[in-house]
Structure formats: structure tokens, C-alpha cells
Structure 1
Amino acid sequence: MSKTRIAVVGAAGRMGRMFIEAIANDERVELGAAIERPDSNLLGVDAGELVGVGALGVKLSPQLSGVVDQFDTVIDFTTPAFTLSNVELCREHGKSIVIGTTGLSDDQKVQLQEAARDISIVFASNMSVGVNLVFKLLETAARIMDEDADIEIIEAHHRNKVDAPSGTALTMGEIVADAVGRELKQCAIYGREGVTGVRDHETIGFSTIRAGDVIGDHTVLFASEGERVEITHKASNRVIYARGALRAVRWLANKPAGLYSMQDVLGLN
């Protein structure tokens, strides 16, 4: 069975380097292309040497469009606009793509749905196996605790994360809201200040922390009078996202066109 050839976008970034190392250590896949921004001084560097696993024979390139014959699937954890441009390129050339980019607008998510008519896409706000298990647990907890409990979502990330709340926290909110028959856009509270009055039981609160080098902590709190239930996931190493993304790549091989989630990849749906 031939190996799936992967193109890593944002190859010189923290996650990009993690992906390259994970691919090099997985005999079921191989690195086909490594893309970095056109103004990077690392263009032309061997991707394997960049991450310290030895030469892989794949040099950092400035454009995904220039290496379309060298990959089968793209891994993209970059920015919404850049991701959408890569989705369109994949659509044009019949390539699949695994997306972990956060901060996509509703319109941009619609564009993903449209592209998924022609190509296979895995899109998830978090590729961690543990986080996706938590997503499943939240459905049950929300249904059981909703009658009496107030629901709050607390997340913490490193100082350089540019979007808030995190995509994972928002997904948690959407799962919880859906489980109890609410619309997150109507019930979410993203900050409190001053005299806010008595808490509305129907709301779902979000608290965001940005500090230091925190990789990612998420807690959903169900608090009623006399007891609290907390469902928490803490990431201590970004390798969990790389492992999850590669699991998605392998699962996606030969799948028909469609928009899939990590819940699909893990058989949790």
C-alpha cells in the first residue's frame, strides 16, 4: 500500500515543525511538500534538517501551487484567509485537506461546506484525541445537568494566541448549547464587568486567559447548588495535535468528498 504524501503549510512554525517531525516518524505517511511564506529566510532548507530528523529530500517552498504534483493531502493550521485559498487550490486539483485553523467566520465555514462537495475535508477546532473525547462527554453532561446547573467555559492559552475565545472553547459551547436546545449566539456571555445583575440560568459564560506559554487548558463547569461537575482537558505537549492530524490524514485516504470532523475520524458520531 502506497504512503499518503502530505504537504505541511506553515512548515517553519511551531505546529508545522511538529507535523514534519511526526510525519518523519510515521512509516504510514511521508512528507511530500513543506510550504512557508514567500519572505521567509528558510526557503530552500531541507524540512527534515529544519526539525532535526535528518534530510528528507523536501525543501521549504513558497507556494503550494508550485508543488501540487508532490502531495495527496494538505495539513493546514494557519490563518482563515490563507486556509481558504489552500482549500480552493485543493478543490481545483482534487486534493484532500485536514484543517485545524481556528477563527473562521460563518461565511468561511460555508465556503468549506461548498468545497466539500468536490473534495474530502477534515475540519476540527482541535485535533487532540482527548479533547474530542471530552466533546462527547459534554453532550451527556449537558443533558443531565442542564435543569439545575449554570454552565461556564474557562480556557487558557499562551500569550501569542490571537483569537479569543479559542476555537475549542467555542466548539465546547456549541456542543453544550445544542445538547440543551439553545443557540450559542443567543445565550453566550463573553465577558462580565460592573453590575451585571443576577446570573441568567439560560446563558453560557466564557472566560479567557492569555498568559505565558500555556499550550491549552479547557474546563467546562456545570455548577448547581450543592455540587459542581468539571470536565477538563489540559495539553502539555503540542504533539497531541500532530498525532491527531496524522490520524485524520490516514482516515481520510480514499474517503468520498465531504466535510468531516474528528468525531467522524474517531468513530464517535
Structure 2
Amino acid sequence: MSGIGILGVSGRMGRAIANIAAAQDVAIAGGIDRNGEVHGDHTTAAGLADAADVLIDFTSPEALAGHLDAAVAAGTPIVIGTTGLSPEHHALIDAAAQKIALVQTYNTSLGVNMLRGLVEEAARRLGPDWDIDIVEMHHRHKLDTPSGTALLLGASANIGRGAADGRALNRFDRMQEGPHEREEGGIYYASLRGGSVAGDHQVIFATDGERIELGHRAESRAIFAKGAVKAALWLTQGRAPGRYTMADVLGL
């Protein structure tokens, strides 16, 4: 095995992935960073894709198209953990998945992916008189809001409520439009940014007289790095082209 190629190798997640891979004796084929930092002999995404057995990408939405092109050209599977993706990015991922195996996820931790199932089940069993709010907090440097994980949990709530897709019931307009009455059945979001928080997420189901709170607290980026390495190794096991999720990787 030539190893894992890390896109964004000098970023917070890139460094964490390299550390976890080293601790698990998983080979690293190399890594590149948008600032020109290089680990190994490969200086471009195309060169890294040619050399690696699998790629891991925790960079930026702007870099995704080029990384997908490199992965497809080399026939190399890829794990995509980048957040802040648009519908256009997801269309690119769908197109790439016709040719290579890839895992796209907003969160690679086992705990969050277990939480998704709990949220979906609660939303399915509780009626629309139970309001759903998703509250998340991350470090001060995180740019996208809501977080990808919040949207992942919201997608589970949408599915549980029988929405046509994972976004139909999402509502982001409470702050933008000023005070107005809450829409029954809507799924609302709140985002906090500060300090060095790795990631806190809480899904609140509230009705008259009672409340259910389901949550997850990430104490270290290592949990995400472990999941990303696990997903990368899973992809190297002869997976057919397609778009997979962490639920597939973890057998949930």
C-alpha cells in the first residue's frame, strides 16, 4: 500500500489525520496544501492522486472541483470532509461518484453518526407540535454557518418528519427577517462561534410542558481524524464507484 494522500496537509484536520495515521502505522503517500506546503515528493493534487491509494480532503469548497478532477483522472477514491458545500458542489460529487468510490460526510465521528439515527427516530415518532431546534458551537475561526454537522443532523430530522429531501423543512430566517411567529414543523438553527471549541451540537425537541435534548460534544479533533482514516481504509477495500456515507463505513 502506497498510502493516504492528504489534501490540506498543514491545516488543523490535515495535521490531525497525519498524526492518527502515524499512530496506527498507516502509510502516508504525501500531502499538499494551498499555501505551497508539501509533504513527500508530490506538489500537485494530480501528482498526489496518482501516487496515493486514497485521498482525504478537508480543505475548502473552492478547491473541491480540482481535487475531484484529480481523483477521477487517477481513478483514486477520496474521502471528502469539507464543509460549506453548495448544491453545485454536490452535483460535482455525484458526477465523480459515477467513476470512483468516494465518501462524503460532514462529520466522521462514530458518536455523531449514532446521534443521526436517534434524531431521525425522535423526529419520526414525535408530532409537528414538537418544535425542533439545532444549536451548534465551534471555534472562532470556523467560517460556515450552520456547521455541516448541524445540517447533517437537520437532514436526519427532515427525513424523520417525512420531508421530500434533507432540506425541505430547514428554516434559517428568524434572525434575518426580525421577530415573527415560528412555523409549525420547521427545523430551526442557531450557530455560536468562540474560543477553541472543536464542535458541540444539540438537537432540542420541545413541546408544551416537556423537552428532549440529544447532543454530542467533541473534545478533540482526533475523533474526526480517526473516522477519516477509517473511511479512507474502507475505500481501499475494492469498493465499487459510488457515493458512500459514514453510515456505510461504520455499518450503521
Question: What is the TM-score normalised by the length of structure 1?
Answer: 0.87
Match of 1:223 in 2: 206
1:177 aligns with 2:158: yes
1:73 maps to 2:70 = no
Q: How many angstroms does 1:109 deviate by?
A: 0.4
Alignment of 1:129-144 (within 5 A): 129-144=110-125
- Alignment of 1:120 with 2:101, yes or no, is yes
Q: For residues 68 and 102 of structure 1, do their structure 2 counterparts lie closer, same or farther at Cα, with a shift above 3 Å needed?
A: closer
The one-letter code of the counterpart of 1:222 is: F
User: How many angstroms apart in 1 are the aligned matches of 2:21 and 2:240?
Assistant: 23
Letter in 2 for 1:124: T
Distance 1:166 1:35, change over 3 A: same
Distance 1:86 1:135 in 2: 28
Match of 1:36 in 2: 33
Structure 2: runs of 5 or more not aligned: none
Encode CA deviations 1:164-211: one digit per residue, 9 max, x unaligned. 000111111111012112356443222534863332222111001011
Residues 50, 76 of structure 2: 8 Å contact kept? no
Going from structure 1 to structure 2, the CA distance change for 1:123 and 1:184 (only over 3 Å counts) comes to closer
For residue 5 of structure 1, report the CA deviation from its aligned partner. Answer: 1.0
Q: Residue 223 of structure 2: which of 240, 244, 247 is its match? A: 240
Alpha-carbon RMSD: 1.8
In 1, Cα distance between the equivalents of 2:180 and 2:17? 47
| SS state at 1:125 partner | coil
Tell me: higher relative CO, structure 1 or 2? Use CA pairs within 8 A at least 6 residues apart: 2
> Is residue 188 of structure 1 aligned with residue 177 of structure 2?
no
Cα distance in 1 for partners of 2:167, 2:48 equals 40
Secondary structure at the aligned position of 1:197 is classed as coil
1:267 aligns with 2:248: no
Task: Write the letter of the residue equivalent to 1:79.
Answer: S
**Structure possessing the higher radius of gyration over alpha carbons:** 1
> Contact conserved, 1:73 with 1:96, CA < 8 A, in 2?
yes
Contact 2:158 2:166 in 1 (8 A): yes
1:133-183, Cα deviation, whole Å (9 max, x unpaired): 101111111111234311100000111111000011111111101211235
Displacement after TM superposition at 1:247 (Å): 0.9
The letter of the residue matching 1:198 is E
Question: What runs of 5+ residues in structure 1 fail to find an aligned partner?
Answer: 48-57
Q: Per the alignment, do residues 195 and 90 of structure 1 end up closer, same or farther by CA in structure 2, a change over 3 Å counting?
A: closer
Aligned residues: 249
1:93 alignment partner in structure 2: 74
SS in 1 for 2:27: strand
